Structure formats: C-alpha cells, structure tokens
Chains A and B, each alone.
Chain A
C-alpha cells in the first residue's frame, strides 16, 4: 500500500499547515505537550537500544574484530566459491542445474533445482526471482479481480487469501509431503499414472514455495490501488478515445504503481531474510537449500575456532549485506512513493469501474489460470493436513492421529512450545497495541522537528531482517570479552561496573525475544493506526480541544473509539506474524524450555508427521486471526501489509 506517512499527510493538512513558529526551548516543548513528548522520548530510547544500536553493532563487527579493523573476511567471502560463485561451477551434488533427468526403474525423475551461485548470490537470486514471479502472479490476479467481469469473484477473493494462513516454511513441509521423492503426489499419482516424478529442491524449491505465498502481498497491494483509484480517470481516457489496452498501459497500471512498488520491495526483503524455508528443505537433506545467507548465519553464527559466543565476522558481514539490501529498498520505496501520491488527487469517486467482459474463450483462460494457481497455492495446505493425519508411507491412505499424539506426548514438550508461542506473541502484541497506538498517533498528528525521523523509526522495523536483529542482540548483549568495546547500558544482574551490559542472550532470551517481536511487528499496528487516522478528520480532535479537552482526553474519548477497529486489526496482524516468527527466535533461543512452535519445527529434522501436525496448529491459529482481521477491517485490511 502507498499510505506511508506522507499519504496520511492529507490534503487538509496542506491547506492548514502548522505555521513555522519561533523556536522554543526543549523544556517548553515538553511542558506544552507532555504526553506526546513522553511517548516520543520513550519510543526513541527503546528503539535506539533495541533496534538502532544492535544494527549498528553488526556493521561495526563486520569490520572491527578483536580490537582491530580486519578486512580479510571480505576477501575471503568474495574469493571463496561457497560464498560467491557467479559461474556456478561447483561440482557434482553441490552444483546447480535447472533440471536433471534421472531414469530410474520405477519412474523418470525430474529434479528442478536451479543454479548454485554461492551463498551470497543464491540469496539475491532467490529474492529477485521470488519477487518477479510474485509480481507476475499478483498483477494478473489483481487486474482480473479488479477490472474483469466473471462469476465467482467474491469466492476467489477469499480463496486468494489462503496462502497467507501458512508461513512459507510451513508450506515447505506441505510441498515435501506431496512433491518430495517419497511425496504422496509423486509416489501415488505421477509415478504410477504418468511414469515420472517431479522433485523440487534447492533455489527452485525455495523460490516456488515463497512465490506461492508472497504473491498474495502483491495482489493485495495492487488490488487496493486499483480499487481506490477514481473510475473517472479511466473513463476520461476512454472518453478521449483511448483503447482498452492503452488505458491499461497509460492510466490503470501507472496509478497502481506505488502499491506495486511497495509490495514488491516488501516481498524482496521478506524473501531474502526468510530462514524457515531453507531450514525445512535442508532438514530433509537438501544440500543446496543450505546455501543461503540466513541458513549460513544460523549455523555459523559463533566462530567455530573460539567456540565462544563471539559472532563470526562472516556472519556479521553477511548480516550486514542483508541489512543494507533491506534499508536501501526501504528508503528507495519511501522516496518513490512519496513522490507519487495519486490516491489523494481526486477525493470523491463517481460510479463503478467499467469492467471488461470476456468472451467464452477468455473465461476459459481465466478460470484455468485461477484453478491452476489455487491448486498450486493450496498444495502446501493439503500436504500438511494429509501428512499430519495419515500414517507415513502407507497406501491407501490410512487415517491416524499419531503425529498429534506424538507432539502431545509430555516428553515432546509440545505443550510448553505451544504455551511459549502464545505467551511471547501475546505479551509482544499487548506491548505493541499500547505503544504503537500512541506512537502512531504522535507520528501522524504531531508536528515537530524530527517527525519524519520518528515516523521512519516506528515503521522501519518491517524491513529489518529478523536474523540480523537476532545477531545484533547477541553482539550487543552477549557476554564476550572481545566485544566489551561495543557494550554499554544497564546491567540486569546489578553489576554497574565499567558500563558492561549483560542482558545475557542465553539467560534472558525470552525477554529479548519478546522485545524483538514487539519491535519487528510494531509497524503493522502503526500502519493500521495511520490508516484509521487518515479516515478521521483532524477537525474532530480540534473541536474536542476547542471544547476544553486535553490531549489524554482527546486520545481516549475521540481517537481510540474512532480507530478501535484499526487497532484491533493491526494487532491481530502483528500477532499472526509473531506466532510464525522464525529467524530471531532461532538465533536467540538456545534452550528447550524457551522454545516456540516454530523453533521446534526447525529442530525436528525430517519427522514430517510431527512437523505437519505443528504446522496444522499454526495454520489454525493464523486462519482464526486473519479471519477476525478481515471481518473487522473488511477492505481496509490491505493498508497494513505494505511498506
């Protein structure tokens, strides 16, 4: 969506901007509006300690190790084919290929793998390919849904949200259950009926699994741009004699471009920082899926040599690269979208969009496209449900609740993981609701020097790779002599000493985890609050102030009742993403007793039944949350999922 802070700076605000005023002292500022300033100060301090400084640490650690500047690791990374291998000429087994055909006795096996260009390039290729495929799928679905007339659209609108209820790494489990070497579809359908098997692995597997999830983000962003534009824009082009295709090319798509752009950057960032999907495929023995930045960091975060919890320089460098990609994308899209505020050019909209009514042949094409897409996109769901409820490798399928019994076994610790997941997610979401509502209000409504910076601060975490924040916490709060130079702050153990901070990531992992959840999923609620405030005329606050209501009263009696739905909706989205969080959780949690569902999934190597059973649990939790969000927000829900 394009409603970054600049969109909420609505027309009205430009008509009645706050005048430039005499510069008053900081103290005076504070006294005039203590509530807003307390929020600004608290959030700034909180985000500095738990977001900015840890991230800065990564950049520092990538060049400054053991008290001196070292750059060998960079040379190492760019000269070692494991990291950087643009020619893709690794040997058998490690090497990449697009497709490999193996004639076995029972069936011909088509292995689709993709290249292996080394960890660094693999991650970039995965990001770009996933984004590209998501864009193609998302634009097609959005255009068809928004501008073409055919039956069953409202049903399709709902079906297209299905991918959202499974995080990509759970989808991975579903894919393996169906399309693995022993997968149900391969073993019981393709091989016996057609005599072949299709096996997805490596980059190809990750890209396909991610694309079938993330295209929905593009779809939602573009669709809402298309629906929010003014029908008369297209009508006037038509009226001037433009052909249907010309209108699409010169009016419709350009108007949807900001939504497309911000959706795409989000997909790029999420795809590159995804740790769960590579881990799941790697867990089933896929060697190439291990060749990604996130997987490498998760496995090699601590230097092997010193066996301490000093961050390996390579990890810091790779994390830094991910971070820089994310930040550049984030700021580019900010700049770009703020230059193109189309949605506010015309306010009232007249009539409905003129839709294209396809002939029979067109309809067949459309229905075939959606059928294929939905089959592919729901495959993971079917896969995990089947795997969780049947006996493995038994044909015909035999119903069984063994996987559930197995995960509910007191020894498996599932109950604990389940409680931990809910506990961490709910605490974080609770903090988010309170802080993000206040911060969103201040960032959107209060004019102060540094407002843009503050707005950036509370919305940027959406772009921060979780794994990077995770290693940031370890470098910052970790207990390592080598890193003493970087440490500062409060001592939770009561040692103040030489300003050594030990919010030890091992002992205090759950605290750090909840904080990281709070910060990283903060933007979803902030953006929901923005969306609500945008529909709430500022005059409503002014008239309350005019009637004598102070700031607290205005927020409590006017703002919160008016945007309550948005807050709840945003909080649910934050909750969903908290429950399915993988990367920070995996980096920070080292102890069984603090594990979460996703942590457990990444740990249960290849036991597909259990994985799928946990996946089903996550799916149910997420479906419920998203269902409620959609019921509450209706078509406003998209506003939350963009940058």
Chain B
C-alpha cells in the first residue's frame, strides 16, 4: 500500500509565495493530476514531492513516514521530465538500467527487467541506440521505462507530453495510463492541459496561485465546478455578466442587453439587483428554433468549420462575442449569411451561475 500525504505545504522563494498551504492525499494506485495554469506552483509542488525542493513549511508523508527532508535519491520515486532528461552518453539500455545498477541489481537480472520494459514501451530493437537517435516520443518512452525500472513507490510526471505534437500526446497519454495501471503504480502527474488531465486521471487537483481550488474525479470537476476559475479552466466557455432580476422561483437573470434568462438555480440567498456571472459551454448550446424560450439574439460574425462540428461566432446585442458549437443541421446553418440575425438557445441546466467567483446552485 502506498499513500502520499501533503500536509499544509508552503513553498516560498525569496520574493514569491509559490505554494500557500496545500493539502492533498494520493491513494494507492491512484493517478492524481495537479492541474493549473503555468506559474500556479504545480511544478514546485511536484519537485517538493521528488525531493528537489524542500518546502518552507509543511510535511510530506509517504506511508506515514515523514519524507519532507529526505534527499531525492533515497525516496524511491521514479520521475519523468518534460524534456525527457535522458543521459546522452548512455544507450537506451544503460539509461533504463541505471536505477537498477545503483541498486546493485545483478547484470543478468537487470538485462531481463530492462528488456521487458523495452518491450512494454514498444522500443524493441532500439535498446542499443543513444537518445539523440530517437524521436521525442521514443525518448519519453525510454524515460517512462527508466522510471518504472526501479519499481517506484510513486511515479512522478512533470508535464511529460508538452514537448510532443498533438497526435503523439494523445497516443502517449493513453499509454502512460495503461502502463501505470498495469504496474499498479501510484502516479502524481503535473500538466496545464485540462484535456490531458481529465483523460488520464483518477483524481484531479486544480491549483491556482499556489492554492488548491478544487479536488475530485474528472467528471465531478467538469460537471460540477465550484468556482468560476475551475469552470473557465476546464472546458471551452462563454462568460456573461448578468444581474439577478427575480428570485421567486427559479433564478432569473437579466443581461445588459435587456434579455432575460431562466437558470435552474433554486436554493440561494441571492436578491434582485445582485451581479452574477454566467458560464456556458460551447458544446452545450445550439441555434434555437423560433418558439423556444431562454434565447439570446445576435448577429452571425463568423463560421469556422472544425471537422465534425461548426463553430459559430456571434456578436450579441451588447457587442459581446459569443461562441456556439453546432453539431446538427450543419448544411442548413452553413449557408447563413454573415451578419444575419440568429437566436441561440441556452438550456437552463447548461448554465453555471457564479457570485463573486463562487458557484451558486
């Protein structure tokens, strides 16, 4: 059983408070992702877990042992880095076998473990090559094998895919997840890419400005954002400013253009006149049939063909830009003239309502 506990971690640089009181528990065999924009402190945190940073205060426990100040080489964690960090003067085999050599594993057994891993990461025939002879994707596979070779208590991943192109990123993230699950290894994964985080994780921790904002399964993070920051960070959204107009039944809000929308917020202390923020996902909207309620009107500005959908940019009456991903009747809508009047239907349950950045339901 492996359990990693971060307890009230603070990381301070000379003039910068990078991590401000961070708590997180990662359970056995769990893939936990630290997700946040660049500069949010997620890498600092990962480096603290690896032992390259020592937190200014707070403790890190691995299976109840305090490892806060344990040197990196004694932690038994494997790590893969954004730029692979393979040793250019060693062959693939030597790279993967390094940790075993340090652990004084005999030559034959080492060879066996290494070759087994080489096969798992699909690098058969490349084991005598040197890192510079490999492509980026192959190098990161070597790094993965190298980290797994020592049967790490925890596998740490520091944005391992951000130097790769899109297709390879998708391919490799599935591979990392599969191999991690096969080995039953506990993973702490750092990324700024929300799709990657949602796709790979059992648990996502969203960090902003050094603080944990929300923690939960990918589904709960996506469908139940607790703050405006999380809603905006996960998924592609339109954000609208509005004012509460009626609280008698379901919350009604009024936009600057005068248009009124009904939300499905019921239980709240909001009073008429209070400012709120509405967030809607591009994907959950559509052009409206004339008779439907909860509509916004605007002028069509641009249609972008995205493959299996069309992305429509609309200028609302208050001059705000609004985006809708249209997945049905593509042919019909593709013929619309730019500047023509369109209505967008906004289902009540497709709207998140935030007051002062906090979700109201």
Contacts and interface: CB of A to CB of B under 8 A. Distances in A.
B89 A18 contact: no
A17 B13 contact: yes
B72 A546 contact: yes
B146 interface: yes
Contacts of B56: 19-22
Interface in B95-109: 98-99, 102-103
A562 B87 CA distance: 9
Contacts of A544: 87, 98
Interface in A527-584: 537, 539-540, 542-550, 553, 558, 561-562
Nearest to B149: A547
A541 to B, nearest CB: 9
Interface stretch (B77-85, B214-222, B240-248, B338-346): B77-85
- Chain A CB within 10 A, most for which of B55, B71, B77, B156: B71
Given A20-B14, A540-B85, A548 B146 contact: no
B289 interface: no
A547 B90 CA distance: 15
Given A539-B81, A547-B150, A553-B102, A558 B73 contact: no
Nearest to A543: B85
A537 B83 contact: yes
Given A19-B11, A19-B54, A548 B89 contact: no
Contacts of B57: 22
A25 interface: no
Contacts of B20: none
Nearest to A17: B13
B190 to A, nearest CB: 12
Given A16-B43, A19-B53, A19-B56, A545 B88 contact: no
A32 interface: yes
Q: Which of under 10, 10 to 19, 20 to 34, or 35 or more describes the interface residues of A?
A: 20 to 34
Given A16-B44, A548-B74, A540 B87 contact: yes
B73 A539 contact: no
Nearest to A18: B53
B102 A546 contact: no
B50 interface: yes
B98 A546 contact: no
Given A16-B43, A539-B83, A561-B89, A546 B77 contact: yes
- Chain B CB within 10 A, most for which of A539, A546, A550, A561: A546
Contacts of A547: 73, 78, 98-99, 102, 146, 150
Interface string A494-532: 000000000000000000000000000000000000000
Contacts of B143: 543
B73 A549 contact: yes
B99 A19 contact: no
Contact of A549 (B12, B50, B102, B147): B102
Interface in B44-69: 44, 47, 50-57
B79 A32 contact: no
Contact of A546 (B50, B55, B87): B50
A548 B87 contact: no
Q: Which of under 10, 10 to 19, 20 to 34, or 35 or more describes the interface residues of B?
A: 35 or more
Given A540-B87, A558-B87, A545 B54 contact: no
B78 A546 contact: yes
A22 B59 CA distance: 13
B351 interface: no
Contacts of A558: 87
Given A20-B14, A547-B102, A550-B73, A542 B54 contact: no
A547 B75 CA distance: 9
B49 to A, nearest CB: 11
Contact of A19 (B18, B51, B75, B79): B18
B136 interface: no
Interface in B1-50: 11-14, 18, 43-44, 47, 50
B347 interface: no
Given A16-B47, A548-B103, A537 B85 contact: yes
A338 B50 CA distance: 31
Interface in A1-31: 16-22
- Chain A CB within 10 A, most for which of B11, B52, B71: B52
A263 B86 CA distance: 36
A539 B11 contact: no
Given A547-B150, A548-B102, A562 B73 contact: no
A561 B156 CA distance: 27
A21 B53 CA distance: 9
A185 B67 CA distance: 78
A545 B71 CA distance: 8
Contacts of B83: 537, 539
Contact of B44 (A19, A32, A546): A19
B235 interface: no
Contacts of B272: none
Contacts of A18: 53
B224 to A, nearest CB: 33
A136 to B, nearest CB: 42
Nearest to B74: A548
B76 interface: yes
Contacts of B11: 19
Interface in B269-288: none
B13 A20 contact: yes
A585 to B, nearest CB: 39
A538 to B, nearest CB: 9
Contacts of A549: 73, 98, 102
A543 B83 CA distance: 11
Contacts of B89: 561-562
- Chain B CB within 10 A, most for which of A537, A547, A558: A547
A364 B10 CA distance: 67
A561 to B, nearest CB: 5
B187 to A, nearest CB: 14
A547 B87 CA distance: 12
B297 to A, nearest CB: 45
B150 to A, nearest CB: 6
Contacts of A20: 12-14, 56
A18 B53 CA distance: 6
B13 A545 contact: no
Contacts of A561: 89
A17 B55 CA distance: 12
Nearest to B43: A16
A542 B87 CA distance: 11
B154 to A, nearest CB: 11
Given A19-B54, A562-B89, A32 B71 contact: yes
Contacts of B76: 548
Contacts of B74: 548
A543 to B, nearest CB: 4
B19 to A, nearest CB: 9
A545 B55 contact: no
- Chain B CB within 10 A, most for which of A21, A32, A550, A561: A21
B91 to A, nearest CB: 13
A547 B100 CA distance: 8
B13 A543 contact: no
Given A21-B54, A543-B146, A544-B98, 10 more contacts: A16-B47, A16-B52, A20-B14, A20-B56, A542-B81, A542-B85, A544-B87, A546-B79, A558-B87, A562-B87
11 contacts: A16-B44, A19-B18, A19-B54, A542-B50, A544-B87, A545-B52, A546-B77, A546-B156, A547-B99, A549-B102, A553-B102
Interface of B: 11-14, 18, 43-44, 47, 50-57, 71-79, 81, 83, 85-89, 98-99, 102-103, 143, 146-147, 150, 156
- 8 tightest A-B CB contacts, nearest first: A547-B99, A539-B85, A543-B85, A545-B72, A548-B102, A546-B79, A545-B73, A561-B89
Interface of A: 16-22, 32, 537, 539-540, 542-550, 553, 558, 561-562
